Amino acid sequence: MENILKLQKSEKISIPKRKLKEHEKAFLILIPFLILISMFLLSPFVSVLIGSFLNEYNEISFENYQYIINSRFIKQSIFNSIELSLVSTFVGLIVSLQGAYSLNKLKNSSKKNVLLFINMLSNFSGIPLAFAFIILLGSNGVMTILLKNIGLIDGFDVYSKSGLMLMYIYFQLPLGLLLLYPVFDRLDPGWKEMVNILGGGSFTFWTKVGLPVMSKEILGTVLIMFANAMGAYACTLALTNGTYNVMTIRITSYIAGEVAYEPGIASAMSILLGGILIFVVIINEILLKNKRGKYEK
């Protein structure tokens, strides 16, 4: 009997360990990322959303949104932001499409050098960009004096709407080029030859084949460029010193301004700005869905 008990104690009872599945391992790896997203994206958004419904007495109401609807000054800032974003996105898209097409026609060595230069330009924004525009196109800027002596410009003011629009278009170009450059690789050179054999020209190729094939990427680029312009703040503030009325400057004036401190209005404008971008995303998805349905038919 004692031998049997000793034998049982000596035996090691092995409990099989359950191995983690692939999706469980992936979820564990994602936990730090989810924590960061919650800390720096979700919690600030929830805080701003709640703050947009609080009045000066910390009572829940729609006073902030009513103030925005009734304020002509705030509605002007919304219109100016949308106008700047739409025009700069449209002009930037046209120039970027032409630039990306020409870039794909270069040799590999030249192409790498140009892409390196574009990458450098894409990081040149904000206050340094505004400072560069002031040096070149300011009242006593190098290019301003040169062009005035030649007689090409008269009365141009870089601190006005036209100067701000020019700067917006400028910082949209590197972004558009980097996003649209890989898209042209999807076009098979044989497609153009087939269109020519069927009696079509370059216009027919681009309208019937080229642009429809690239439509998804082009719409996505439009969305990113529009959001990039709507959220521009540092370069606008540095160039105009806050005198041009746009949404980002108005939000800052209500949350950190010396004249008025209205965090509720600033939160409501932030939610409205996010709502405009979400609306653009929805329109983009609807257009893409319609195009996919058209091709499936």
Picking from 103, 113, 84, 95, the residue whose alpha carbon sits closest to that of residue 236 is 84
Higher-scoring residue by pLDDT: 61, 198: 61
Candidates 138, 90, 147; CA nearest to 239 is 138
- Give the confidence band of 72 by pLDDT, cuts at 50, 70, 90: very high
Distance CA 132, CA 138 (A): 9
pLDDT in tens, 95-136: 999 988 888 888 777 777 888 888 887 777 788 888 888 888
Q: Is 61 left (phi over 0), alpha (psi -120 to 50) or beta?
A: beta
- What residue spans define the domains of the chain? 49-296
Say if CB 52 and CB 275 are below 8 A apart: no
296 Cβ neighbours under 8 A, 6+ residues apart: none
Under the banding of pLDDT at 50, 70 and 90, the label for residue 259 is: low
Other residues' Cβ atoms within 10 Å of the Cβ of residue 16: 5
User: Taking the model in full, what pTM does it have?
Assistant: 0.81
Instruction: Using DSSP, state whether 241 is helix, strand or coil.
Output: coil
The rounded distance, in Å, linking the Cα atoms of 223 and 10 is 70
Q: What is the CATH number of domain 49-296?
A: 1.10.3720.10
Quick: pLDDT tens for 195-240.
888 777 778 888 888 888 888 888 888 988 998 899 888 888 888 8
